[in-house]
Amino acid sequence: MPFLPESIRFDLWEHLYGRGRQFWPISSTAQRVEGHMYIKRGTLVRPTEGIVTDFVRKHTKIPVPVVIDNVTIGDVTTLVLSELPGESLLAVRHGVGVTDEQCHWLSQQISTLLAQLRAIPSPSEAVSGLNNTRVYCERISLGSKPYGPWPSVAEFHAFLLRAHVEAPPDVHEKVWNSINTAHSRTHRVCLTHNDFAPQNILVDKDFNITGIVDWEAAAWMPEYWEYTKSLFLPWNNTGWWSEVMSNVFTQYETEREAEFYIWEYREMYI
């Protein structure tokens, strides 16, 4: 397909996208289309998602979609991805819960998959997007406004504290001791999905993971970030999902506590 001019491919995918909407409901930002494909299209779709997805596919055995095409004309990007088997973990467990055995099995699989991602050597000590680009992250800024890159983890931590953390007097010392302890630890930089949550994990009926999707926010982040960011949304920081991720990352409870304090007591969203 890339041998065709971009304008022709762009129009072809637009037509297929429109046909898909006649037969299937849109799933999040992705539209299922004929040919066992999904198309993400619009001004909010980032070309970097296709680049990162392809990078992860080439450097790991993590089940990610094949990038069929990734074309941008003007401010509209069209990303075409292969369909993966399974349903989102969020949909599968909706209304039925997750057993202790299933939690353990999910933790075991996630640990194996993320270990591959975290084993990819970082190109530098910078906290950044894949190619030293800006970072899109809803934890950092409202609406995922891009920020960075930062030359080091220390400078990234300093940036996070621009949110003006103001804890009440009775817990002020405890809060800042926690933050200072976490931020004084040495952290390497790891490739991070940065939106790792049940809606982006595909599983079969036996909770075998069949795919990891939505790599648009992936970035080189401090090693604890995959864990703490996965618990950022209120409905993810308690219950079965918190248990799953806590089993995967047992070494970052100090960083988790510090992040929770920053979320709770920051006076502004950067």
Whether the bond between 149 and the residue before it is cis, its omega within 30 degrees of 0, is yes
Of 260, 270, 201, whose CA–CA distance to 233 is shortest?
A: 260
Which of 104, 152, 122 lies closest to 219 in space, CA to CA?
122
Place of tokens 């036996």: 206
Assign 2 a pLDDT band (cuts: 50, 70, 90): low
Residue 100 reports pLDDT greater than 90 = yes
- pLDDT score recorded for residue 96: 74
Q: Which residue has the tokens 């989102």?
A: 88
**How do residues 156-171 score in pLDDT, each as one tens digit?**
999 999 989 999 999 9
Of the options 3.90.1200.10, 1.10.10.10, 3.90.1010.10, 3.30.70.140, the CATH number for the domain spanning 87-265: 3.90.1200.10
Per-residue pLDDT at 26 exceeds 90: no
Q: State the residue for tokens 């990234």.
A: 156
Q: Which amino acid is at 247?
A: N
Residue 95 has pLDDT above 70, yes or no: no
Residue 41's Cβ-side half-sphere holds a number of Cα atoms within 13 Å equal to 23
For the segment(s) 6-82, the CATH number from 1.10.3470, 3.30.70, 3.30.200, 3.90.226 is 3.30.200
217-248 b/e (C-beta count within 10 Å ≥ 16 → b): bbbbbbbbbbbbbbbbeeebbeebbebbbbeb
Q: Return mean pLDDT, the chain.
A: 94
What residue spans define the domains of the chain? 6-82, 87-265
pLDDT greater than 90 at residue 260 = yes
| Distance (Å, whole) CA 86 – CA 92 | 9
How many residues would you count in the chain?
270
* Between residues 237 and 63, the one the model is more confident about: 63
Q: What is the pLDDT of residue 144?
A: 81
Which residues 6+ apart lie within 8 Å of 128 measured at CB?
134, 135, 148, 149, 150, 219, 220
- Nearest partner of 188 among 229, 128, 134, 127, judged by Cα: 127
pTM of whole model > 0.75? yes
Tell how far CA 242 is from the center of its chain.
16
Q: How far is CA 132 from CA 55, 116, 122, 124, 218, in A?
A: 14, 21, 11, 9, 12
- Its sign, for the CA torsion 175, 177, 178, 183, is positive
3-state secondary structure of 89: helix
Distance CA 111, CA 236 (A): 18
